[in-house]
Amino acid sequence: MIVRNRILAVVALAAAFWPGSLTAQDQWLSETSCSDAAHTIVNEGITAWGNVEHGRAKGMYQAALVVDPSCLAAKIALADMANGAEWGTRSSQMEALADVSGTASEMAWLDIMHSSNGPNTAYEKAQDLPDDALFHYWASWSEHSELTVAEGHMAFAERFPSLAAGSLNTLAYAYAQGDGVDIDEVKAREFLRSYLRLYNEANAHDSFAEISAIFGDYEGAVRHQQHAVDRGGATVYGERVAMYWRLANKEDYRQAVVDAVNVLANP
């Protein structure tokens, strides 16, 4: 049985001592064809991608290719981010990678992209490549795993604590929304705080804001959403600040609308 408090403690230690030079447990892919600098940049990009910061991730992958134009992992990552719909470029990018030769990690990633069930294929690859955190992370959603999704993410967080931000985010939402576990605000907030300590970036604050709003804490939602804007720019984060502000001040907002209607009705 995976103990939640132990996971939170391990993650806290990872947050205290990381970042630094990459160790085996700090890397999403154990080996790539990229230069050391490009490999590190791709690693950061995958972290951003796993935390739903796609613009930041794409910039990282593109930066890796500036540093090392032959960095296959960055090319694969860009293709994986692309949309597979008719208007997307995923197919054309995959075609460009049809005859490439890379490390075992890179080729496994391509196999997952070609698969009809990514999590299940990732689970299989994780058995062959035990040090590749990326495949273990995706395998958390696999039907082949004996663990539930929540248990899978807890196991991942314990095994790869410095890379656990996305899993902590998933667990926070699970306890906030009752996704495979009982709704528990205390546990949701515990995972949020651990997430924030490990990854003090836009999405962590965005998640903190949304889950605060789920539990009716609209003032807390506004505060964290403002931090999300500070770290990630206005974009969708800015739109959510306005939404949470209206919820936090809904009575004043309602009265302002009533007053405006009265003025219009009684010129």
67-79 pLDDT, tens digit per residue, is 999 999 999 999 9
Average pLDDT over residues 116-131: 97
The answer to whether position 38 is within a domain reads yes
The answer to whether position 55 is within a domain reads yes
Provide the domain count of the chain: 1
Q: Which two tokens stand for residue 73?
A: 């992992």
Average pLDDT over residues 137-157: 96
* pLDDT over 70 percentage in the chain: 91
Average pLDDT over residues 192-196: 97
Cis upstream peptide for 19 (omega within 30°) = yes
The answer to whether position 164 is within a domain reads no
Amino acid 17: pLDDT: 46
d(CA 145, CA 127): 11
pLDDT tens per residue, range 23-35: 767 999 999 999 9
Whether residue 254 has pLDDT greater than 90: no
pLDDT tens per residue, range 242-253: 888 888 888 877
Amino acid residing at 34: C
The answer to whether position 135 is within a domain reads no
The answer to whether position 208 is within a domain reads no
Closest to 129 (Cα-Cα) out of 107, 105, 147: 105
Whether residue 9 has pLDDT greater than 80: no
What is the span of the domain harbouring residue 82?
Answer: 31-103
Whether residue 2 has pLDDT greater than 70: no
Q: Are 139 and 126 in contact (CB under 8 A)?
A: yes
Q: How many CB atoms lie within 10 A of CB 190?
A: 18
Q: Are 134 and 27 in contact (CB under 8 A)?
A: no
Q: Of the given ranges (71-75, 147-151, 253-257), which has the lowest mean pLDDT?
A: 253-257
The answer to whether position 98 is within a domain reads yes
Whether residue 119 has pLDDT greater than 60: yes
The answer to whether position 82 is within a domain reads yes
Residue 252, exposed/middle/buried by CB under 10 A (0-12, 13-18, 19+)?
exposed
d(CA 255, CA 69): 59
Q: Are 196 and 12 in contact (CB under 8 A)?
A: no
Give the Å distances, CA to CA, from 74 to 34, 161, 163. 8, 23, 18
Q: Are 245 and 209 in contact (CB under 8 A)?
A: no
The answer to whether position 185 is within a domain reads no
The dihedral through the CA atoms of 68, 69, 70, 72 has a sign that is: positive
**pLDDT-derived band at 1, boundaries 50, 70, 90:** very low
Amino acid 8: pLDDT: 60
The model's pTM is 0.84
